Structure 1
């Protein structure tokens, strides 16, 4: 994986990072790397996520899903990091699997989705690290009843990933469901390379060994200098631009299969770094689609954005047919991949011309090895940024407050703080 930070430097961008500032920042990166390396060596909470390329067990995952491998449809029941990693892997690499995720409790969506699925040919993977996540367990209970109503033995079509204790573990034990242990010390948003997401990837035909080999290449590339480590270069520059005013990070992949990756990035970046009045707000976009909906704002709006542009270096061929339509001669004999690359380079140049900082991230291809490397490097970049901000990267107290309040309301035990009400009808 290559990261080009040239268009984020002060010579091009406003805000931008000067060469001297980058050199000073590199000293802080070295200290942060030492802290990260110590955390990894001791498998400390959160830092253990960066050990997954070695500690994940693809053979155990493949053995768990093997009895279910004949299914044409997979339904992941989870929320946040319990669903986004799986969706990212399947959307980018899955081949032939009809994949769905129940990651919200909108009753209209849940009812419509279950009505559309052939439940007799559906595998359910229910994921909750704590085993107590209200949205996940509520959806699972609805799915279980729908399968029973359809005459399907849900116990033969359900796989569980959870912690060593909790409501979900108890339910799995009571019904003899196959269970994979959620990884110790790995927050959900950092779990894409673990038993949380790998079962979906395995059922979708993804080469887990290659995926983890790509992640291992990222781990091997970690070093004490941002000039030698793509992950740290990205994390350090994103942090430096934020403190200079680029408080929004627009993730813009130029590959349809990576659209869900942008959603995964948004959770990782927001939940990890949004602490103590700090953190960069992630935005999600897709090239070239959102050149026609968001680029106007990025280029001509407030000077508060970093645009992260991601593309594969190789793509499948799809020739553009010859045409006799006037004005389209420049397309004749071309390829859709070439057109998309031209859109990428034109957008990058447009941002640079207007002084908007951007970072280019290039992968060899959208394949298992490259995606493993991308996911690992973005996680490592996030951990580094957290060290530079000085925040608790691996906690999410604001999220937990909301969860506790929702449970209290449902039980009739909670009184929420007073709020002003202004209704306009």
Structure 2
């Protein structure tokens, strides 16, 4: 993983960071790194996420999924961190992830009904993921899936792998039916758990190189140190923090690889849920290169000066040769390939933003493979934790999310609480 922060410097961009300011921030990074190291040593909640490379047993995951390793399709039933990491990994590493990995992470009845209608349950492995075992959306969807399998004459207990905490209704169900079960790591918030059984089970079922993913994470872990100038993850977290403090309240995350588009969604949860505290935190916006050069880029180059753009790209990519064009006006395409064109689009977009004085950062991986993906996931978790330390927020909690969960549960149970009163007291101004 490589991070180029040159276009975030004040000599290029406004808002931007001067070199002397970066030196001052580096002193803060050193102090934050000491706190992070202390938290890791004590396996404290949240900081334990950076210990996952030493804790995750890829072999144990493979052994647990052996009963369903013949599946052509994996259905992940989870929400938020219990689904986004898994989808990110399989989309990046499999050519047909859209067909071989289905994620039910919402309770939209149209979507659920449509997904289930297209499945051949004899060929399906179900991975239900919930740390507490009580997540309303996840358990409701799992019950619907289970019933659909029963109606199709498929024994759901033979096709289901459970990922959950040490106790709870889902753990009890798994024990009752002797289901293959993997543990959600203790002390690791869901959005930081991609590099664990939470994110790796579907990849293991589909034959992805789980061991290489963890090797990449190991490599990223080895870069953690007291200076942002020696650690790509810390560099990204520190510069994002500095730019936000100077007015970049939006972080537009823009991969230049279709198979990394779900990574932007994973990043959006990580960044928003971790750093959106105390009236601060960057709003993550998702974009895709080169597609969104033809839409969102107009705003980022010519709109308010409140956005940093984060590019993500592999250094190596497959080439697809562009055929000889028939029109003279397209002669410049002769001898090129699509990968070369996409790289040129990225370079042009960077230059466009820099020319307009808009801050942007480039994140690169060697290639789109398991090792680089593990390195990237770990590096961005470290970046988020560093940004949280510098901002002085509790990176690992999500009180606003919990408020919403508890309110929905109260409504479904018919309980009258202060939260349900807030629902009833909604101000309305209806235009018909």
TM-score (norm 1): 0.99
**1:39 equivalenced with 2:39 (yes/no):** yes
Aligned residue in 2 for 1:295:
297
Aligned residue in 1 for 2:54:
54
Counterpart selection for 2:345 from 329, 334, 343: 343
Q: Describe the superposition over 1:214-254 as per-residue Cα deviations: whole angstroms up to 9, x where unpaired.
A: 11111100010111111111000000000100000000010
Give how far 1:37 is off. Answer: 0.6
Mean CA deviation greater in 275-284 or 202-211 = 202-211
**Would you say the 8 A contact 1:405–1:416 is kept in 2?**
no
Give how far 1:278 is off. Answer: 1.3
Secondary structure of 2:201's match? helix
**Equivalent-residue separation in structure 2 for 1:39 and 1:216 (angstroms):** 18
Aligned residue in 2 for 1:248:
250
Counterpart selection for 2:421 from 416, 420, 424: 416
Give how far 1:176 is off. Answer: 1.6
**How large is the RMSD of aligned CA atoms in angstroms?**
0.8
Q: How many residues align?
A: 425
Give how far 1:53 is off. Answer: 1.0
Aligned residue in 2 for 1:265:
267
Aligned residue in 1 for 2:127:
125
Secondary structure of 2:348's match? helix
**Equivalent-residue separation in structure 1 for 2:210 and 2:122 (angstroms):** 27
Secondary structure of 1:327's match? helix
**1:85 equivalenced with 2:90 (yes/no):** no
**Equivalent-residue separation in structure 1 for 2:174 and 2:39 (angstroms):** 33
**Would you say the 8 A contact 1:272–1:396 is kept in 2?**
yes
**1:22 equivalenced with 2:27 (yes/no):** no
Aligned residue in 2 for 1:134:
136
Counterpart selection for 2:105 from 103, 106, 110: 103
Aligned residue in 2 for 1:147:
149
Give how far 1:416 is off. Answer: 2.6
Q: Describe the superposition over 1:177-211 as per-residue Cα deviations: whole angstroms up to 9, x where unpaired.
A: 11111111111000000010111111222111111
What is the correspondence of 1:367-406 to structure 2 with a 5 Å cutoff?
367-406=369-408
Aligned residue in 2 for 1:2:
2
**Equivalent-residue separation in structure 1 for 2:79 and 2:169 (angstroms):** 16
Secondary structure of 2:153's match? coil
**Would you say the 8 A contact 2:191–2:269 is kept in 1?**
yes
Mean CA deviation greater in 202-211 or 77-86 = 202-211
Aligned residue in 2 for 1:63:
63
**Equivalent-residue separation in structure 2 for 1:209 and 1:158 (angstroms):** 23
Aligned residue in 1 for 2:166:
164
Give how far 1:419 is off. Answer: 2.2
Give how far 1:95 is off. Answer: 4.5
Give how far 1:326 is off. Answer: 2.9
Secondary structure of 1:250's match? strand
**Equivalent-residue separation in structure 1 for 2:30 and 2:298 (angstroms):** 38
Aligned residue in 2 for 1:180:
182
Aligned residue in 2 for 1:217:
219
**Would you say the 8 A contact 2:65–2:180 is kept in 1?**
no
Secondary structure of 2:260's match? helix
**Equivalent-residue separation in structure 1 for 2:276 and 2:132 (angstroms):** 22
Give how far 1:340 is off. Answer: 0.1
Can you give the 5+ residue segments of structure 1 that lack an aligned partner in the other structure? none
**Equivalent-residue separation in structure 1 for 2:353 and 2:319 (angstroms):** 28
**Equivalent-residue separation in structure 1 for 2:205 and 2:289 (angstroms):** 28
Mean CA deviation greater in 89-98 or 254-263 = 89-98
**Equivalent-residue separation in structure 2 for 1:283 and 1:88 (angstroms):** 17
Mean CA deviation greater in 197-206 or 53-62 = 197-206
Can you give the 5+ residue segments of structure 2 that lack an aligned partner in the other structure? none
**Would you say the 8 A contact 2:233–2:383 is kept in 1?**
yes
Counterpart selection for 1:312 from 283, 305, 314: 314
Give how far 1:131 is off. Answer: 0.6
